[in-house]
Structure formats: C-alpha cells, structure tokens
Amino acid sequence: METTLYDLGVTAGDVFLEISYLLAAIFFVIGLKLMSHPESARKGNFWAASGMGLAMITTLFLHRDASGNLISLTNGMVVVISIIFGGILGTIVAKRIKMTAMPQLVSIFNATGGAASALVALMEYSNPINESALVTLLGLVIGTIAFSGSMVAYGKLDGKIGDIFAKWTTYFNLFLLAVIAAIMVYMLAFDHSMATQITLSYVLLVVALIYGIMFVMPIGGADMPVVISLLNSLTGIAAAMAGFIYNNQAMILGGIFVGSAGSILTLLMCKAMNRSLINVIVGAFGGGGAGINKEQGNIKEITLSDAAVLLSYSQKVVIVPGYGLAVAQAQHVCNELVKLLEGKGVEVKFAIHPVAGRMPGHMNVLLAEADVPYTKLVEMDDINPDMPNTDVTVVIGANDVVNPAAYDDPSSPIYGMPIIDAHESKNTIVMKRGMGKGYAGIENSLFFEDKTRMLFGNAKDSLQKLVSEIKEL
C-alpha cells in the first residue's frame, strides 16, 4: 500500500511552509549577490527583505510547534504588534541616523540580534519538549557574547568607553572561556534537577556577558572594523542556533548566511591588514600604549591658494578618505571638488583602504551617499601601483591607513599592515584638524616628509574654501 504525505501527518500547509523557506533562501542568495556591488546594493536589500518578510508571514500562519499546534491568536497578535512596533522604530532610527554614527548603528543591530537569540535559548532550555540541549547552550553563549560585545563596541565607537588593555586581560579572557566550557560540559554530562539546570543556565549567561565585555574592551580602534564584522558573524551563528531549537529552516538558513558572510569578511579584512584573527583579538592592535613615538622633524603647511593652484594644474589626483571625512560630513563638498577638478581636465580617483573608517565598507557607503560614481573608487591593491605617477594625493581624515611606519618601523604596532602608498606620490596634502594621532594612537611619519603639506582645519570648511579658491582661478 502506497504511503502518502497525508498518512505521515504532513498537511498542505506544511508543504507550502517548506517551499516558502526555500524561496526565502533563494531571495537571500540573490540579495547577497546584489549587495556585493554598490550600484545594486539597494536592490539586494529589497530582495533579502522580501525573503525575510515571506518567511515571517508563512511562519506566523503555518508553523506548527512540537505538539502539532499552530500559533494561537493571542500569541499571533503579540508577534504582529511587535513586528509593527519594531518596523516603525527601525524606520525612524534609519532615517535619523547620521553617516558618522553608522558603525554604532551596526553594533546596535548586532547586539539586538544576539540578545534575541540568547533570550530564545534561555527560555527554551527549560522547555521539556526541547531536545537540543547542546545547541541551546551554544545559542545562549554565542548570542550573549554577541550582545555584550556589540554594546561595548558601540560605546567605544561613540567615545563613551575607552580601551582597557593589560596583559592580565588575555589570561582573564582565557579563564572565562574555560569556565564557560566547564559549565556547559557539567550541564550536559550529568543529570540535574530542573531548578539546578535553570540556575546553571543563568550562571552561564552572566559569565558569557562578562566575557563579551572583556573580549572587546582591549580591542583598539584600528581593529574595530574587524571586530564589528566578527560580532556580526556571531549574531548570525546565534540566530542559526535559535533556528535549530525551533526546527525553523528560515532562521537556520538566514543565520548561516549572516554567519558565513561575516566570517568570510572578517578573514578578508584580517588578510588586508596582514594579520591573523587571533592576533587581532589577542594583540589588541591600536589599544593602549601603542608603539614607540619618535621625534619626526618639522611639518610644513600649505595655504588654500597654493593648494588650489597645485590641484588645478595637476594631471592625476588621488583622494584618500578616512573617518575624519565622515565626522565632518564633507562627502558632498568633496564630490563637488572632484567635479570641479574634472572640469579642468584633472583625473581624480578615490583610494579605498579595506579598513578605513569604523566598519567594513564605511568609505564606500559614505561616498555613495554623495553620489560619487563607483568607478572612481579604487581598492588599495589596484591604486598603489599608480601612486608614483600621481601628481597630488589628498588625504582627508585618514591616518593609520597611509602611515609609512607600516613599511619601515619594526617597532610600530602597524608594521607589516598594507597601506595606501600616499608617500609615493609627487605631492601630498593632508587635511586634519590638528596634529592628533590616529585611532591606533601612533605618530604618522607621512606628515613630516618633504613632499607633504598640512592643511589644518575642519575637513568640510577646508574643502568649501578650497572649492571657492579653485573657482576663482
């Protein structure tokens, strides 16, 4: 006798639910592919959001729990209200957030994702129906670390929390990891009463919270883009664990996509910095007491009129953007300068370092907001061979990513890190508010070279005055 899906208790709704998850996964893949290019990134967001929306709707109406029951009307209303409230709040925040605060927003997003996954694991661990104890504990630990670590990252990026780096932090973190592992093994290997298990799960939560804080606290500013990417990966992994708890393929697939994409990006950024991930985490690059500061010599300033003449009569100009450009909100006037120079027959390009700014792709997003064509954004490896033929390199708010100490100073903490070879160009103009050190906390020898001229002041003001000077030539 032939066995049908109906005989196995599978309904048409179950089949449609699984098909919707498959479609959602396809939408996620299309979205990720489109988001790999700035010109199609907006479409990619639409495709990925559509996939998530489809998964949420079908889960709300068709997902069955372990007992075979659909979601109750009361719980469904709570979910719908939460979605509406979250959607409204997210829209308001997204519209009001400044580009300079985008890394902080990403950290908050990572934190909320980690917290949601941790709460799911915490609630479901004591559920008698839940048979995924290991996955649940992993979701609790990873989600909690992602939450507390992301909140510390937010505080550091926003200037509310400073670096705390000492040798003892490394050993303390290793101790906390050992405690987490020991508690998990103890909970899984031995039978305990439900009260004991719940108590231990809360102890595990507290230890993971402390580890997340101490894990990010020593990380210096120059490594923050890598850390944000890593925390994003942990958030995705935690979401996948929550998906396994509920046997929800959409959560599993979405979490896997986020986790794998974040992991790949983290490794690529480490490669771009010529450092291992372990070195980033343990070495606390850019943390307290970074490097040996030497007497570099004298700096030379340039006037606005001289800068205007130098740029106007150049053939090739390269602009190196950094976080200072974002802080000054000068991307629009910078693009105005580019158009003005191109009108005079000058070839202008932007040199993009992989870790410039405070999050992965920060400069790309910043310049895209000012409608700078993507073809003008040239990656570090592609622009460096052309730097000796560049008449003027204009460094706007960047510091560590153009520091020649990465090549010639073995005592520097950035030694061995690939940089944009601004020092190889015929002339360099550095726009800075003052002689403050970069986020890595070390002196930049580029500022003292014979070919370098400093143009002090707020980047937006300096660029506006420079544009006015060029127009008058």
Q: Identify whether residues 167 and 87 lie together within a single domain.
A: yes
Is a pLDDT exceeding 60 seen at residue 365? yes
pLDDT band at residue 66 using 50, 70 and 90 as cut-offs:
low
**Active-site residues: which are they?**
400
Domain that holds residue 309: 304-472
CA nearest neighbour of 212 among 346, 310, 84, 115: 115
User: What's the pLDDT score for residue 293?
Assistant: 46
Q: Identify whether residues 23 and 147 lie together within a single domain.
A: yes
Q: Identify whether residues 277 and 326 lie together within a single domain.
A: no
CA nearest neighbour of 174 among 262, 281, 25, 271: 281
Q: Identify whether residues 211 and 346 lie together within a single domain.
A: no
Per the rule left: phi > 0, alpha: psi between -120 and 50, beta: everything else, 64 is beta
Q: Identify whether residues 20 and 153 lie together within a single domain.
A: yes
pLDDT band at residue 203 using 50, 70 and 90 as cut-offs:
very high
Q: Which domain CATH number covers 361?
A: 3.40.50.1220
Q: Identify whether residues 398 and 465 lie together within a single domain.
A: yes
Domain boundary among 253, 283, 313: 283
Domain count along the chain: 2
For 224-235, how does the pLDDT look when each residue is reduced to its tens digit (9 = 90+)? Answer: 788 888 999 999
CA nearest neighbour of 36 among 265, 218, 330, 210: 265
User: What's the pLDDT score for residue 287?
Assistant: 45
Does residue 298 fall inside a structural domain? no
DSSP line for 242-287: HHHHHT-HHHHHHHHHHHHHHHHHHHHHHHHTT--HHHHHHH-TT-
Does residue 1 fall inside a structural domain? no
Does residue 289 fall inside a structural domain? no
Q: Identify whether residues 233 and 360 lie together within a single domain.
A: no
Is a pLDDT exceeding 80 seen at residue 252? yes
Mean per-residue pLDDT of the chain: 85
